[in-house]
Amino acid sequence: MSIDIKVPVLPESVADASIATWHVKVGEQVTRDQNLVDIETDKVVLEVVAPADGVLSDILDEEGATVLGEQVIAKFEEGAGAQKAQEQSAPATEKTSSNKGESVEIKVPVLPESVADATVATWHVQPGDAVSRDQNLVDIETDKVVLEVVAPADGTLSEILAQEGETVMGEQVIANFSAGAAPAKSDAPAKASSDDDSSDAENDALSPSVRRLLAEKGIDAANIKGTGKGGRITKEDVEKSLSAPSKAAAPAKEAPAAPSLAGERSEKRVPMTRLRKTIASRLLEAKNSTAMLTTFNEVNMKPIMDLRKQYQESFEKRHGIRLGFMSFYVKAVTEALKRFPEVNASLDGDDICYHNYFDVSIAVSTPRGLVTPVLRDCDTLGMAGIEGGIKELALKGRDGKLSMADMQGGNFTITNGGVFGSLLSTPIINPPQSAILGMHKIQDRPMAVNGKVEILPMMYLALSYDHRIIDGKESVGFLVTIKEMLEDPTRLLLDV
């Protein structure tokens, strides 16, 4: 059966989107909930997943094309080629099963000098599982980033030496691997493995829509039996679990009321990840060790919105990337930092260290928590360079590929809570930086202009700063400079 692949419904404030990356090609076989394509808006990247097992039969819009909400961008054939894939997988297993492989030690990667130890976060395979070369075996979590340890070759994980949650050191042996050995499994054990093991392994790869639905409804993924490929949980499975109590209404007469109430009032305890612990300690440190104060202003975003509308198409054709709001924010911040060096400084003991370079941290929300990768030398980058750098950091953050080098340094932070609908907030400083700028939701509001009321797209700005190093005069002047540059973007070109 042919199915239309459509662009997701876009938020009201987003007029159109762009095809960022096709992850599959025409004729390729895919599994249900596998990511087909990334759709990029001004603020976020949306994933469009396969509705079922099948084949992508036709791509209607190539990478870089501008598309609208619910526009058909591809054709999908449900069930096509699925049987072939199953037939091909059986002989492949038998072929590798006859090989005896040499034993290889799986070690923790070399940790940076500033990182003393790490934690085994998640094992994606279990002893006896057959894996392919470069398949992710385990996630190793440090205070700042998650490191993936992949299989050195096709083979089998023979033994796990460090369980999830254990603290490990750099280059410590955490597992043994048999290269080339992939024991064949009969149909019966395969089914058991599908029922038991795949639920844990596959739940770590839930699609974004399923994760969001589980979070909204407060449901534990462990309580849902998946019907997708390899026991993977789908949106339909979550929706069925929500309607399950109505089906159980008939036998409820025989069962006492107390157990059902107890089930609804259950609790789940999950240890904090190292990243979450680090975020918590640093935020508490910032609150307790700095004289933090926040000042506010508001910006008329109409000039920038008009400018983007006028030049969006030609900008994208020339540079191969969409013109977003963040490049304007970063440019305005960089120019303001040049004029107010105190905001670009940090305290080191009793000394004030003034930075003569402009590395801006960009707050990025990832599945594991908020991180702040650094966009370096912003004063030397044009609008296209800034947009490209931000996109690269955002994709790395989404995929868990940020390195220690991406996270270290940064003189000033920009956080954009507006992508989640925040109207106003007081962001917390990212030590040892001395200030952070919060951008918020762009919302139409009635404003007085030359004695008349006009409806304008307005956005609140919030600058939190360390009062020990930055006075009110500098903080207000810095924020007003950003406001003036955003309301008159030509200032960014003329440096006035």
**pLDDT value at 260 more than 90:** no
Mean pLDDT of 427-445: 93
Asked whether residue 58 carries a pLDDT value surpassing 80, the answer given is yes
What pLDDT is stored for residue 207 in this prediction? 56
> By three-state DSSP, how is residue 152 classified?
coil
Residue in the structure block whose two tokens are 């090989």: 99
Q: Report whether 341 contacts 354 (CB < 8 A).
A: yes
Rounded to whole angstroms, the Cα distance separating 436 from 338 reads: 15
Q: How far apart are CA 45 and CA 165, in angstroms?
A: 31
Mean pLDDT of 15-38: 86
Give the dihedral of Cα atoms 153, 157, 159, 164; nearest 10 deg.
Answer: 100
- Strand 292-300 and strand 103-107: the pairing is unpaired
Give the tokens for residue 56.
């992508």
Active site residues: 467, 471
pLDDT at 97 over 50: no
pLDDT band, very low/low/confident/very high, at 230 (cuts 50, 70, 90): low
Mean pLDDT of the chain: 80
For residue 149, CA distances in Å to 53, 156, 206, 232, 421 come to 29, 14, 20, 23, 36
Per the model's pLDDT, the better-predicted residue between 110 and 460 turns out to be 460
In this predicted structure, which of 34-43, 92-101, 229-238, 352-361 has the lowest mean pLDDT?
92-101
CB 120 within 8 A of CB 164: yes
pLDDT of residue 147: 82
Burial class (CB in 10 A: 0-12, 13-18, 19+), 231: buried
- pLDDT category at 367 given cuts 50, 70, 90 is confident
**Does residue 342 register a pLDDT over 50?**
yes
Report the largest interatomic distance among the alpha carbons of the chain, rounded to a whole angstrom: 85
CA pair distance 94, 187, nearest whole angstrom: 12
Distances in whole angstroms, Cα of residue 336 to Cα of each of 325, 342, 479, 483, 485: 17, 11, 8, 10, 9
Q: What is the model's pTM?
A: 0.54
Q: Are 211 and 33 in contact (CB under 8 A)?
A: no
**E-assigned strands of 236-307?**
292-300
Q: Residue 459 pairs with which residues in a beta bridge? A: 299
The lowest-confidence range among 74-83, 244-253, 445-454 is: 244-253
pLDDT for residue 197 is more than 60: no
Is residue 486 within 8 A of residue 301, CB to CB? The reply is yes
